[in-house]
Amino acid sequence: MRGSATDPTSVPGHRHLRRTAGTLASAALLLPLLGAAPAQGATESSAADRLQSAFAGAADEYHVPQSVLLAVSYLQSRWDSHAGAPSVTGGYGPMHLTDARTALATTEHFAEGSEDARGDSAREALHPDIKVPDESALPARLSTLTKAAELTGIPADRLRTDPAANVAGGAALLAAAQKDMDEPLSADPADWYGSVARFSGADDTATAAAYANDVYDVLRTGEERSTDDGQLVALAAQPDLAADTAQLRRTGLRTVKADGVECPASVSCVSVPAPYAEFGAGDYGNHDLGDRPVSQRIKYIVIHDTEGAWDGVMNLIQDPTYVSWNYTIRSTDGLIAQHVKAKDVAWHAGNWDVNARSVGIEHEGFLASPDAWYTEAMYRSSARLVKYLARTYDIPLDRQHILGHDNVPGPTTSTIPGMHTDPGPYWDWRHYFQLLGHPFERTGGKHAGLVTIRPDYAANQPVYSGCTTSGVPCTAHGSSEVRLYTDHDVNAPLIKDIGLKTSPTNGVNDLSSRVSTGQQFAIADHWGDWTAIWYLGQKAWFQNPAKEPTAVPASGLLLTPKDGVASIPVYGRAYPEKEAYPAGVPAQSVVPLPYTVPAGQKYVVGDVMPGEYYYAVTFTPDSHRVVIGKDLYYEIQYGHRVAFVRAADVRLEGSVG
């Protein structure tokens, strides 16, 4: 029986589509896209719908319902091909067929960088000599492309680079899984739940079920978007579809207990604890025991990219001489591992003040180059975790509180050059916040005094260099970041970050002259299709044409230096005044960074907070203290990274417009 012949995707009554990013077709243009396989003798598809036809053809050839194939591919890649570039786990094409052998060479985030992840000058800097374990054997989830080549007879290089071949490979894998389970090649999508669960590559029922549930959510709600190469692809909604979830018991996958994990019920979560242990001479690692949120509020969630393989990362987190973070999310299937309880303080951000007030989430990166892409399964799992944490700890869902590691400020001047730059310019913040249920919308009028950075991710492709070789341009790729100039001219010099003490470049890790999607800045000027903002104490220009804007007007709270001062200092941490420290707790210096906010400049307020310092330099927690001062600080979006200013130094004003 041909899977696509009676595919409900083609039933007009089910054409309830959830609108997503991309140009939407009119109803008349959409109708041909919702059919099954092309008619016999049909001419070659037009450029606009050849991928849709590839799904129909593969569904017909391998007897897989077209809607199932489309939904699985959406969860893997959102139907994007990425021009043949591998994902962070070595996955290729719309079906994310994995061939991780070409991506085994990098461990940049864990093995390099001068940042002290703890970021507390009260303790000696931690720079352990970590050797990432060799991967002697790849798990099956990282070599699905090889199996697809065996099933289809299609050469591996074609499966990597030809989207239609890649779709066929995915269909063959689904059909093979169905046969292995002794299930019929049914035309009913409800009958494929077990095979979809196995397609995830997970080896436990909870992770496989979470993945399959996401696929069936896509089937029920429908999707439609234009892909990264301009393909219009549509999947009609089947709101009444009820999957045969009983098939999960017949998948042969193991059951893993998830006792004590702090995760939402909608994800798969396991416990892989980071050790709290002494290892000689009074030293210990790799986190500190705390009592949050009783002792102090959790205000931030920090998004990281591991740039290391899952198995190696799991070994590192269990090393007491290494650093720590709270969660890691696996790319292929969205599995979450919790390492440090939210009440305790992990060492992950390179700034002790931020560590003490944050939860750190690492996202698996198995990079062949920084151009690698992140899977939809990981984005969705991460978004569910972040929504759960934000709800539990009352953390606002905005870019002043959901930070990238690259947005965390250096705590002191000397630390600024060594701070990390992950998750980098290829993390899709716009899509991520859509999944969080807080999309970046226009909230101000035409006379608004600030903007929200919001480029079109796929169309926004600034030139970066150094992805594989220093000075060599990276492959063209969508980006969340927008470049800044000293004047309204692309030939003008880039904005310089005086804290880096280097000339600005277009290097992929050079943050000196870039703003990121979702960040907000006060408007300093306009010139034609250019907008200027206040950034790092300077007037910084970016292209913002009215027809294709890279920023939208916003409303919000601004601050500026109080009247009568030429400039005010900027800080990398919000520490209490000296008088707040009790006996036995050394007072921490309140030393400004090399930056200032000059008179007349304005910056967007992210939050207000008391000066706090978590004193924890001993293994036993009985001496740990949270010191809270009377001085208040405002968090501001100062440059690419956030920063802090003393409330006593500024005055507040609302945005006009």
Do 326 and 360 contact (CB within 8 A), yes or no?
A: yes
In angstroms, the CA 125 to CA 123 distance is 6
Is the predicted pLDDT of residue 419 greater than 70, yes or no?
yes
- Cα end-to-end span (Å), the chain: 61
Domain residue spans in the chain? 8-101+161-250, 258-425, 561-654
The confidence score (pLDDT) of residue 103 equals 58
Mean pLDDT on 463-485:
89
Residue 311: predicted pLDDT: 84
Q: Residue 122's pLDDT is what?
A: 82
Residue 189 confidence (pLDDT): 98
Three-class SS of residue 522?
A: strand
Q: Is residue 366 pLDDT above 60, yes or no?
A: no
Mean pLDDT of 148-153: 98
Burial of 333 by CB count in 10 Å (0-12 exposed, 13-18 middle, 19+ buried)? buried
Asked which of 100-109, 194-203, 238-247 is least confident by mean pLDDT, the reply is 100-109
Q: Is 83 helix (H, G, I), strand (E, B) or coil?
A: helix
Confidence band (pLDDT; 50, 70, 90) for 85? confident
More confident residue, 479 or 37: 479
pLDDT of residue 123: 80
Pair type for strands 402-404 and 300-305: parallel
Residues in the chain: 657
pLDDT higher at 49 or 616: 616
3-12 pLDDT per residue, tens: 333 333 333 3
DSSP lists the bridge partners of residue 525 as 532
Q: How confident is the model at residue 16 (pLDDT cuts 50, 70, 90)?
A: very low
How confident is the model at residue 368, as a pLDDT? 43
- Token pair for 521: 């800045």
Distance CA 440, CA 418 (A): 31
Average of pLDDT values for 385-402? 98
Q: How confident is the model at residue 47 (pLDDT cuts 50, 70, 90)?
A: low
Nearest partner of 209 among 197, 227, 199, judged by Cα? 197
pLDDT at 14 over 60: no
pLDDT of residue 279: 83
Cis, bond preceding 286 (omega within 30 deg of 0) = yes
Element at 164 (helix H, strand E): helix 163-180
User: Who has greater pLDDT, 48 or 426?
Assistant: 426
Cα gap 484→538, rounded to integer Å: 11
Residue 457 · residue 431 · CB < 8 Å: yes
Residue 606 half-sphere exposure toward CB, CA atoms < 13 A: 28
What pLDDT does 48 receive? 66
Determine the Cα–Cα distance for residues 395 and 299; give it in Å rounded to an integer: 6
Q: Which of the pair, 45 or 119, is modelled with greater confidence? A: 119
**Whether the predicted pLDDT of 655 surpasses 50:** yes
What local confidence, expressed as pLDDT, does residue 9 receive? 37
Helix (H, G, I), strand (E, B) or coil at 634: strand
Q: Which fold has domain 258-425?
A: Lysozyme-like (3.40.80)
> Residue 363 pLDDT > 90, yes or no?
yes
Look at 99-108, 145-154, 215-224, 322-331 and tell me which has the smallest mean pLDDT.
Answer: 99-108
Per-residue pLDDT, 113: 52
- Of the listed ranges 262-266, 306-310, 539-543, the least confidently predicted one is 306-310
Confidence (pLDDT) at 647: 98
Say how far residue 422 (Cα) sits from the centre of its chain. Answer: 9
pLDDT tens digits, residue range 199-254?
A: 999 999 999 999 999 999 999 999 999 998 889 999 999 999 999 999 999 999 98
8-101+161-250 to CATH, choices 1.10.3470, 1.10.1760, 1.10.530, 2.30.130: 1.10.530
Q: What is the mean pLDDT of the chain?
A: 88
Measured CA distances, 504 to 314, 348, 484, 499 (Å): 36, 26, 10, 11
Quick one: what percent of the chain has pLDDT higher than 70?
88
Instruction: Kindly tell me if the per-residue pLDDT of 601 is higher than 60.
Output: yes
Mean pLDDT of 182-206: 96
Q: What pLDDT, in 10s, does the model give residues 488-537?
A: 999 999 999 999 989 999 999 899 999 999 999 999 999 999 999 999 99
pLDDT for res 32: 27
Instruction: Report the range of poorest mean pLDDT among 22-26, 96-100, 279-283, 462-466.
Output: 22-26
pLDDT at 132: 54
Asked, as a colleague might, if the bond just before 493 is cis with ω within 30 of 0, I would say: no
C-alpha–C-alpha distance, residues 398 and 554, integer Å? 13
- Tens-place pLDDT, residues 552-596: 999 999 999 999 999 999 999 999 999 999 999 999 999 999 999
Q: Which long-range contacts (CB under 8 A, 24 or more apart) does 399-402 make?
A: 399/429, 399/516, 399/517, 399/518, 399/519, 399/520, 399/637, 400/520, 400/604, 400/606, 400/607, 400/635, 400/637, 400/642, 401/299, 401/300, 401/301, 401/606, 401/607, 402/300, 402/301, 402/303, 402/433, 402/436
Q: What is the model's pTM?
A: 0.90
